[in-house]
């Protein structure tokens, strides 16, 4: 910060010049033939990544003969849902869809504004707050091209721009390094917890086994999509609900519930989400009358708590290896009823089940606490980075 302050005092003692973004970098008007594009240089809004994370290769080709051209140094801005913060500094030539705005430094300002600096301006929170505030539409808001062009940006001397870009790059390098370190620590602790969980659930030959169908009642969930109501009083147990640990909640009115879940039911994901993150994940229902089950999820209700405790069944079934072996490695693996009910289930004495439950509860609580602590640390560093990024781009304005 001191270097930037020193340069500002040296070159801009009376403040920094302000200019409309559209004056410095108007929208690209050049076009390119779609036939010349491929997955690596066509940019649609879908393959711009949220939260300023750049781009990925396109999954489809453009659907028009000619599209907007972009060149190295141009700024590509996703114009749907501005709050997603989709922006990329182009490092190649290519073409973009109509939902992507291409900002190109004009001839007058070329050599007076660094593309890297312009990218930082357009990627700033102040720009995205402004863009979101001026967007039009409720369900699918779009940025206003006219309002974007009017955004007032600071244009300090090149020396200051370079210093700002270098300072922000260093902040990002430090943040990425810390995030990598904390993520590695979190992964190591999670692997250790999983090792302990597997050890506690590994039973020798002395423990009897039963087929799951002998100890549970199976019920498949039913479709509730058309009944979803944000004011509903029942939480819908979906694959996404379970994989997000209850963070992704949709609700339905209790009067419309088709498959109610009862306290002690184990809800198990039968149909996977992309990347295999949800298959065979389980949720133990904590109370009657508060949950309904969707069609990708089944209910496994223990027939006798004296034989198997519901919480023990939850721990055994959650991501059970016998169920995961049916994963076909594709996005939509679907477990069949018989594949679930033919699972070989260990059945130690109830006292031993309680002992294992207590140990796994303690392990889960410790792991969750650690995950929260590390996640909070990552978030704190992210907020710190945001603070300094905004501070570095907040210049004293030149008065008339």
pLDDT tens sequence across 345-386: 999 999 999 999 999 999 888 888 887 887 788 788 778 777
Q: Is the pTM here over 0.75, yes or no?
A: no
pLDDT at 318: 94
Whole-number Cα distances in Å, 133 to 78, 130, 139, 329: 15, 5, 14, 42
Q: Which residues of the chain have pLDDT under 50?
A: 1
Cα 260 from chain centroid (whole Å): 30
Nearest residue to 23 (alpha-carbon basis) of 125, 122, 103, 99: 103
pLDDT at 286: 95
pLDDT at 371: 78
Question: In which element (H, E) is residue 222 found?
Answer: none
* Beta carbons of 224 and 258 less than 8 angstroms apart: yes
pLDDT tens sequence across 62-76: 989 999 999 999 999
Q: In order of start, what are the domains of the chain with their CATH numbers? A: 17-155 (3.90.220.20), 208-347 (3.90.220.20)
Long-range CB contacts (< 8 A, 24+ apart) of 352-355? 353/308, 353/309, 353/312, 354/309, 354/312
- 85 φ/ψ sector (left φ>0, alpha ψ -120 to 50, else beta): left
């Amino acid at each position: 910060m001191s270097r930037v302050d020193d340069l500002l005092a040296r070159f801009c003692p009376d403040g920094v010049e302000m200019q409309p973004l559209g004056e410095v970098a108007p929208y690209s008007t050049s076009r390119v033939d779609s036939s010349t594009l491929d997955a690596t240089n066509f940019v649609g809004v879908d393959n711009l990544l949220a939260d300023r994370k750049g781009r990925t290769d396109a999954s489809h080709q453009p659907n028009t003969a000619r599209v907007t051209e972009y060149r190295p140094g141009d700024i590509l801005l996703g114009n749907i849902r501005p709050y997603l913060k989709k922006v990329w500094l182009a490092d190649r030539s290519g073409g973009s869809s109509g939902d992507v705005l291409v900002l190109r430094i004009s001839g007058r300002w070329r050599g007076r504004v660094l593309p890297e600096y312009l990218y930082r301006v357009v990627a700033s929170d102040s720009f995205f707050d402004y863009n979101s505030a001026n967007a039009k539409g409720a369900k699918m808001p779009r940025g206003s091209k006219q309002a974007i062009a009017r955004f007032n940006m600071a244009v300090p001397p090149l020396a200051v721009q370079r210093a700002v870009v270098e300072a922000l790059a260093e902040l990002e390098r430090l943040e990425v390094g810390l995030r990598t370190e904390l993520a590695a620590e979190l992964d190591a602790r999670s692997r250790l917890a999983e090792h302990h969980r597997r050890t506690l659930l590994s039973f020798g030959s002395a423990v009897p086994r039963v087929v799951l169908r002998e100890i549970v009642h199976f019920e498949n969930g039913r479709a509730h999509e058309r009944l979803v109501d944000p004011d509903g009083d029942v939480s819908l147990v979906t694959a996404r609900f379970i994989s997000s640990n209850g963070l992704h909640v949709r609700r339905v009115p209790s009067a419309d519930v088709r498959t109610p879940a009862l306290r002690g039911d184990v809800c198990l994901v039968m149909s996977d989400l992309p990347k295999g993150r949800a298959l065979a994940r389980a949720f133990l229902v904590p109370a009657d009358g508060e949950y309904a089950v969707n069609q990708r999820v089944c209910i496994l209700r223990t027939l006798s708590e004296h034989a198997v405790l519901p919480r023990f069944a939850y721990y055994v079934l959650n991501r059970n290896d016998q169920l995961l072996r049916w994963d076909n490695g594709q996005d939509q693996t679907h477990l069949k009823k018989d594949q679930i009910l033919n699972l070989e289930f260990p059945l130690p004495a109830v006292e031993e089940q309680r002992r294992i439950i207590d140990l796994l509860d303690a392990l889960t609580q410790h792991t969750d606490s650690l995950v929260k602590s590390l996640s909070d640390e990552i978030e704190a560093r992210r907020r710190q980075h945001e603070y300094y990024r905004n501070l570095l781009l907040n210049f004293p304005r030149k008065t008339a």
